[in-house]
A and B are shown apart, each in its own frame.
Chain A
């Protein structure tokens, strides 16, 4: 049986992890590769690296990081952040990334989804969507939730599926950072209306939240950052709990 995936997300700036991490066993707390290795060993199913650097060298730095991660890590990983062309993606996949995640560039140039799916296959194209519930309507936002668009979440999600996305990473800006749980109602609607996997993001605070997003939110995978980085939740414990709740996981 296909299992539900648990995905830690690492924010990267200039090749280093940004948000603080609470891993006493890390020699270098800012080294994404070392952190990735620990996650791979302790039960993470997949990893996401989100590059938030804004320097001119970012492309090269990210490509170098991907190569270093691929050398050490034996589980799949996705890279995102500032990817806007077929050439960007080509380098990252050649260096060993399994998937790339695109967000603003897909909104600005939806044809990019078609181009990436045609050249590399849908399986490596993740479209990340950030949305906020405004007066009962889920509106897609850009730049980490700062800039609203005209797009409705469900219409845009349907469009990216039709254009060839292999997976959707949906972050509810209303839930992100709250630790109050995932946006399960919207997630369940996405999962029902679309026929590609949906990754839930934003709001993880307790183990129960993960159970809820798999059961009520019908999510295929759940992504979180701080609860894992600060060891508020150990992935091994989380997976045991999920299994006890009847959710298929890889132990």
Chain B
């Protein structure tokens, strides 16, 4: 199985690579279009600021490639947010895969949300063997509201999408690579399921 992590200069890629290695798989970091197209599974990471991350994607042409991918794709954190229609952060136009607009938490809560929160209403094989209300690690100031593409819900300020899915595209707001054994199960599900 060929696993690639899209490398566009945004994010904590090393941690994802190591997490996959701990599960007994190898992942390749790449920005090569042909290598990405040929992969069995694609991971689209992201940490940092939305508009500058999107600019990096555009500069490398990956913004047009990603929405056309046919194999399972998993966006993580900012990666998931960039797969949405837009983000309030930096007035960013996204890849338009998920039909939802990312917005900022209000000042009624501390921003960023940092720490372990629960996920519930779990749907799809991504969450096979994961219990309702399991804890996962979140770090973010912006969130995707609930939509008909929501496959996991979390609550902070409001109920929001902890994970999204449309066709072959999956996205998690949380960091499976930093979410202990629960995160490992979710990553393993993504790598081993025939979606």
Given A3-B135, A75-B137, A220-B110, check contact A95 B115 (CB 8 Å).
no
Interface of B: prevailing SS = mixed
CB distance from B14 to the nearest CB of A (A): 4
The reply to whether A98 and B115 form a contact with Cβ atoms under 8 Å apart is: no
Instruction: Determine which of A3, A74, A94 lies in contact with B117 in the assembled complex, contact meaning CB atoms within 8 Å.
Output: A3
The reply to whether A121 and B184 form a contact with Cβ atoms under 8 Å apart is: no
| In the complex, residue of chain A having the shortest beta-carbon distance to the beta carbon of B178 | A76
Given A96-B18, A98-B15, A250-B135, check contact A74 B112 (CB 8 Å).
no
Cβ-based interface call for B158 (8 A): no
Residues of the B chain whose Cβ atoms lie less than 8 Å from the Cβ of A2: 113, 115-117, 138, 156
Cβ-based interface call for A24 (8 A): no
Interface of A: prevailing SS = loop
Chain B, range 1-49, C-beta contacts under 8 Å to A: 12-15, 18-19, 21-22, 47-49
Cβ-based interface call for B114 (8 A): yes
A71 vs B177: C-alpha distance when bound (angstroms): 11
The reply to whether B14 and A67 form a contact with Cβ atoms under 8 Å apart is: yes
The reply to whether A195 and B155 form a contact with Cβ atoms under 8 Å apart is: no
Residue count of chain B within 8 Å CB distance of chain A: 37
Cβ-based interface call for B129 (8 A): no
Contact mask B151-190 → A, CB, 8 Å, 1/0?
A: 0000110000000000000000001011111011000000
Cβ-based interface call for B111 (8 A): yes
A236 vs B131: C-alpha distance when bound (angstroms): 20
CB distance from B126 to the nearest CB of A (A): 18
CB distance from B51 to the nearest CB of A (A): 12
The reply to whether B22 and A5 form a contact with Cβ atoms under 8 Å apart is: no
CB distance from B50 to the nearest CB of A (A): 10
Cβ-based interface call for B104 (8 A): no
A49 vs B4: C-alpha distance when bound (angstroms): 30
Besides A2-B115, A95-B14, A123-B141, 12 other CB < 8 A contacts? A2-B156, A40-B180, A75-B180, A96-B18, A98-B12, A118-B49, A121-B48, A123-B139, A124-B47, A166-B112, A196-B110, A250-B116
Chain A residues packing against B (C-beta within 8 Å)? 1-5, 40, 45-46, 67, 70-72, 74-76, 93-96, 98, 118-124, 166-167, 195-197, 220-221, 250
Chain B residues packing against A (C-beta within 8 Å)? 12-15, 18-19, 21-22, 47-49, 107, 110-118, 135, 137-141, 155-156, 175, 177-181, 183-184
Give 10 A-B contacts (CB < 8 Å), ordered by A residue. Answer: A1-B117, A1-B118, A3-B116, A45-B116, A70-B18, A75-B137, A118-B49, A123-B112, A196-B112, A197-B112
